[in-house]
Chain A
Amino acid sequence: MPKHNPATGPNRATRTIAQAITWLDKGFSRVYGAGANPLYHTGPLAIWMLLVAVITGVYLVFFYELSHPFESVAWLQSQPVWGRWIRALHRYSSDGAVVLTTLHVIRMFVQGRRWGPRMMAWLSGGLLLAALLLVGWTGFVMVWDGQGQLIAVAGARLLDSLPLFTEPVGRGFVKPELIGPSFFFINLFLHLALPLAMTGLLWWHTIRLSRPGWFPPRLLMWWSLGALTLLSVAAPPGLAGKADLLGVPSPGEVDLFYNFWLLAGAVVSPGWQMALWVGLWLALMAVPWLSRPWPAARRPESWVDQRHCDGCLQCYLDCPYNAIRMVPPPSEGVGQSPGRQKDHDVAWVETRLCVSCGICSASCSPMVIGPPGRTGRDQWHQAAALAKKAASLDHRPAIAVILCANALSPGERAALTGPDRLGWQVDCSGEIHPQTVAYLLAHGLDGVLVAACPPAGCQNREGSRYLEERLSGRRDPGQKAKVDPLRVDLQWAESGDLPRLKAAMAGFETRLRELESPSKPKRGHP
């Protein structure tokens, strides 16, 4: 996998997957609403599914007998409400966890959230995925039906292909007398211990986030739980008959979410299978190194001009990645204006944690923090240039269109701008400083339309939400900026939304013309 060349960007396969995800996002947003789009919450939903599996699993384990594993599960299966349905919910929520985790991995990959400060989350995620599949394996073996026997024997063959064991693991499955409670005890221990280990991994996975979203929105939680409960009642999984080590295992059906690896067994030898799966997992773990962009293509981290930091804490509070610390001010003479020793802490960016999202740029009233070229002051200069252009426009109303690079494709961004609509592209809508928008409105622009990702779909977690709060004056420094809400149109946008955005633009222009008419107040703050 080559490193990204800044000239070519991500390769074609990555772009294709990204496009597919964008369309899926859009489709799901239309159905569920952007706020409850499950594709925007794959990580928290996977955790929610695991929690459901843990709660149902704790209940089920009380009925599990190590000396009669199959018989105890069969008894549970014969009890409709408190046996079969709970077991079904345990199974389907576990399946859901695998699906959502896989979608989460793909999503993070195509969004480039896999290297640099996010490497730790990627690596812990890879370990979590492996642990999840192992937990599933032990769970199916616990039942000790045909499927359990099939994967136990096939798994033993994979292990025996490694030159690690002097006594073959598969020897335990040669005849029925060799399998006893001790085997099922070890299996049960792993089935309980691995989820505990996963809790630690989850903590590691989210340690670098300021406000990790452990759970999805409530609507999504209850909707998914209700749907799986209905499914458990309507189509509970059956039992394939007790494992028989003197019979050829033929369960009739398998759960491919966990036991997909059996498919390779029909084609290649256990040794090659092991090489394939271990190789794929190692490749997944190596993604942060293999696919990191060229240094020239990396966006520089934020920095602070500590001489002008007023210590308001807003950037420290806003940073989604815990990358900003408040530190004592530098001593006089070191990065300090002469004779003006500060009596408060100042912001400091821990660059190894900074993903260059630019959200801090918009947090800062004195505009002294942000990635180089994207600070509030840099935006101010760009706004001044736009205002100059707007002054030479004959077309009215004069509109500035601020476009989030993550929300729309380059072609869509180009289609929304033109000679009469002054375009301004930002890396994340969370970096748009409200003072800049106020400046544009005060210097010749009649309106500002912002197209940003829906808050739940923001690639920098909180950028879109902060933008909305700042422009509406509910978050500093938006309260000071006093942006006229009638002259700002904030549109949540995803790729494919061009027709809707064009219609919104037309409606916005009409609204601005009405505001300019003599019968209505020209500007104001209702």
Chain B
Amino acid sequence: MMTPSQPKVPWLRWAARLTLTAALLTGLVWVSHTPFGTRPAQGVLRLAGRMVAGKVSVCRDSTPQELASLPPHQRKKKVCKSRLFSYTLRVAVDGTLLADDRLDPPGLSHDRPIYVQKEFALAAGEHRLALELEPDGEDETGVAISGPRPPGYRLYRKITLHPGRVMLVWLDEKQGEFHVMGEESADTP
């Protein structure tokens, strides 16, 4: 009742099956092993750290309207919010400023730790690194933050970057200093 639409010679059909299957498998292997990326000639400077110091209370006087809108037992003359200090990060390599960023503490109340995580691809070789992480005395709106100022952190030194390697500059807040990791090349025994 029906006519199949296939080559009538069996060996030809099997040859076609094998050929097509081989072609599909070749495509599968090729996409599964697609060349991607080359070993970079540059090195990478990675900055990382976490800061929780500098918790302060930012207070302001309540307005008469605010006081009037509250029940008597909830009326406070001052409204205070705890927050962390903002910081300014400056990174200069060989005298060139690579970053000058203000780091605000995350969270609605700006009370979450600040995480620093930055990478700079640089030419392999020796460089002069100047790194400053200073507390900022003002909040996001430019209002001065009162309270004890937390410490700032600074690192000035020569670094050597190797091709395809990462030099990690890690802030150890407890010890109050930067640590440097990965100065040795991958070939160093």
Contact = CB atoms under 8 A, between A and B. Distances in A.
Contacts of A472: 1
A343 interface: no
Interface string A302-331: 000000000000000000000000000000
A253 B1 contact: no
B44 interface: yes
B154 to A, nearest CB: 21
A248 B166 contact: yes
The 8 closest A-B pairs by CB, nearest first: A246-B182, A254-B36, A174-B48, A31-B16, A256-B34, A166-B112, A253-B33, A250-B39
B168 interface: yes
Contacts of B2: 468, 489-492
B17 interface: yes
B143 interface: no
27 contacts: A31-B20, A34-B4, A92-B32, A95-B31, A170-B117, A171-B50, A174-B46, A174-B170, A175-B170, A231-B25, A231-B29, A246-B165, A246-B168, A246-B182, A248-B39, A251-B37, A252-B36, A254-B37, A255-B32, A256-B31, A262-B36, A471-B1, A489-B1, A489-B2, A492-B3, A500-B3, A500-B5
A166 B112 CA distance: 7
Interface string B28-70: 1101111111111000101010100000000000000000000
B150 interface: no
A227 B35 CA distance: 24
Contact of A250 (B16, B20, B32, B164): B164
B106 interface: yes
B158 interface: no
Contacts of A262: 36
B186 interface: yes
A33 interface: yes
B115 A171 contact: yes
A247 interface: yes
A255 to B, nearest CB: 5
Interface string A25-39: 010111111100000
User: How many of chain A's residues touch chain B, expressed as a range?
Assistant: 35 or more
Interface of A: 26, 28-34, 91-92, 95-96, 99, 150, 166-168, 170-171, 174-175, 223, 227-228, 230-231, 235, 237, 244-257, 262, 468, 471-472, 485, 488-492, 494, 497, 500, 504
A283 B128 CA distance: 49
Nearest to B25: A231
A509 to B, nearest CB: 15
Interface in B91-126: 106-107, 112-113, 115, 117
A494 B3 CA distance: 12
The residue in B29, B32, B48 that gathers the most chain A C-beta atoms within 10 A of its C-beta is B32
B166 A250 contact: no
Contacts of A175: 48, 168, 170, 181
Contacts of B21: 223, 227
B75 interface: no
A492 B5 contact: yes
Contacts of A31: 6, 13, 16-17, 20
Nearest to A266: B37
Contacts of A99: 28
Contacts of A92: 28, 32
B28 A95 contact: yes
A328 B119 CA distance: 73
B125 to A, nearest CB: 16
A468 B4 contact: no
Contacts of B113: 166-167
A247 B165 contact: yes
A504 B3 contact: yes
A112 to B, nearest CB: 25
Given A30-B5, A167-B113, A254-B37, 13 more contacts: A32-B20, A92-B28, A95-B32, A166-B107, A166-B113, A171-B50, A246-B168, A246-B182, A250-B40, A251-B37, A256-B31, A256-B36, A500-B5
Nearest to B112: A166
The residue in A247, A249, A488, A497 that gathers the most chain B C-beta atoms within 10 A of its C-beta is A247
Contact of A488 (B1, B28, B112, B117): B1
B7 interface: yes
B3 A491 contact: yes
A488 B2 CA distance: 10
A253 B30 CA distance: 10
Contacts of A246: 165-166, 168, 181-182
B35 A231 contact: no
B1 A485 contact: yes
Contacts of B25: 227-228, 230-231
Nearest to A494: B5
Given A29-B5, A175-B181, A250-B40, A237 B112 contact: no
Interface in B138-189: 164-166, 168, 170, 181-182, 186
A223 B24 CA distance: 13
A468 B13 contact: no
A231 B28 contact: yes
Contacts of A247: 164-166, 186
B171 to A, nearest CB: 11
Contacts of B166: 245-248
B36 A253 contact: yes
Contacts of B40: 248, 250
A245 to B, nearest CB: 7
Contacts of B112: 166
A248 B35 CA distance: 16
